[in-house]
Structure 1
Amino acid sequence: MTDIGALLKAFIYLISTSLLYPVLLLLVVLTLFVIVHAGTFFAEWLERTRLKKCRPQDLPEVLQHGDPQGIVSHRVILYLQRLKQVTNRPPFLETAVENLLQESTLALWKSMDRLRILFRVGPSLGLIGTLIPMGTGLAALGQGDMTRLSADLVIAFTTTVTGLAVGTAAFFFFTIQRRWIEEDIKNMELATELLASPSERTPHALHEPAAN
């Protein structure tokens, strides 16, 4: 029984120590991703700060008859272009428009999944990267190896800081970008109502009141 317990402890210890370098590698990858995403985030932030202010009551007229360039984000502009292409195809128009709106909305929320995963995984990896060196450091302390203990403590604290920094940055980006996406979806739904609804009436239906 003692041999089985010692074997299990050795096996768990082997698993724990073997996870250290994969965790460090993942933390490096996540840090690089956050840095790259920060550039994309600030590029979009600059774009949105340069958008012209439009009163809520004037926005429907701009989307339907005006030029929305410089008033709404590039996501809404791209959606408007796709929407106009769909409304030029009368068969199954209502279904096609609804599918386009749902597909575009889903794509926007999917783009947030990486940030959602990041601000949860980052601190978890930091905690794992802290506990593993602490175990080996305590073992080194029992053997009187202060050099090994110091090195393990440095790894433990730096992984904690890195994981928390990654999670904090990802949560910040997620919070701001979610607000932007909600605004874009609202504008996309408004544009769909304005541009797709009148097109659902056929030319025959437009002339019916005049014929009566």
Structure 2
Amino acid sequence: MILQGTQTLTSLIHIISESLLTPVVILLVIAVIIVLLAFGGAINEFISRKPISSKELEELIRSISFSNNVSQMKEVISNSNLFDYQKEVLNRIADNHDIGKEARKAFASELISDEETRLIKSTNKTDVLVRVGPILGLLGTLIPLGPGLAALGSGDISTLAQALTIAFDTTVTGLSVGALAYVISKFKKQWYESDLIVTETLAEAELEALNRW
């Protein structure tokens, strides 16, 4: 009776395992589409990116530090080569020049923290695919091997060959998705980290200038 119950559970697990192959393949196709779109977006962002140089940053710090009023400071920021979101953060800090020193510093920290969160969220999809891609590839490898080995036992080489083909294809696809997603996330995080450092540096210069008035 115990043996019969074990066989029933084994059969159930076998059915569940085989039924997962189609969803795994579909998810792999979706993952490929997502990572290709992300790759295209990363290339487009790389081409359009024009981060300021260290010399430009130095000049901008000086211009902000020696600004005489909020209008002049905002004009310096608006005419710079900063990205739009960096300008928005710095301009919002300048617009709140009339609040207390500590409150202004806390407000600036919150703005930069919010921007950091937003930038991190933009890499969430590729971060997930770094792990999910190889997992889907492994599932796509193991699931068809069961029927393939069973077919080998009965001498059905054709079914075994088909199972091995699916296994290799899903493995390569899953690993490729994971690798490409890793490269995309790695470079984008480096870009955003550099941008945030620039924003924090300029925010410090801006706060010092505002505190002197």
Q: TM-score, normalised by structure 2?
A: 0.82
Task: Name which of structure 1's ranges 138-147 and 160-169 shifts more when overlaid on structure 2.
Answer: 138-147
**Percentage identity across paired residues of the two chains:** 33
Aligned to 1:21: 22
Query: Counterpart of 1:81 in structure 2: which amino acid?
Result: E
Matching residue of 2:38: 37
Aligned counterparts, 1:61-140, within 5 A? 61=62, 65=76, 67-69=79-81, 72=82, 74=83, 77-89=84-96, 90-91=98-99, 92-140=103-151
Which residue of 154, 157, 161 corresponds with 1:143? Answer: 154
5+ residue gaps, structure 1? 207-212
Provide, for residues 153-211 of structure 1, a one-character-per-residue CA deviation record: whole Å limited to 9, x for no partner: 1111100010011011111111211211110110110121122333345xxxx4xxxxx
Summarize deviations over 1:105-143 as a string: whole Å, max 9, x none. 111122222222111111111011000011111112222
Aligned AA (2:200): E
Measure how far apart 1:53 and its partner are: 3.7
* Unaligned ranges ≥5, structure 2: 66-75
- Tell whether the 8 Å contact from 2:38 to 2:126 is kept in structure 1 after alignment: no
The farther-off stretch of 93-102 and 152-161 is: 93-102
> Structure 2 vs 1, CA of residues 152 and 63 (structure 1 numbering), >3 Å: closer, same or farther?
farther
TM-score (norm 1): 0.83
Letter in structure 2 aligned against 1:141: L
CA root-mean-square deviation = 2.1
> What's the secondary structure of 1:197's corresponding residue?
helix
Q: Is the 8 A contact 1:121 1:167 kept in 2?
A: yes
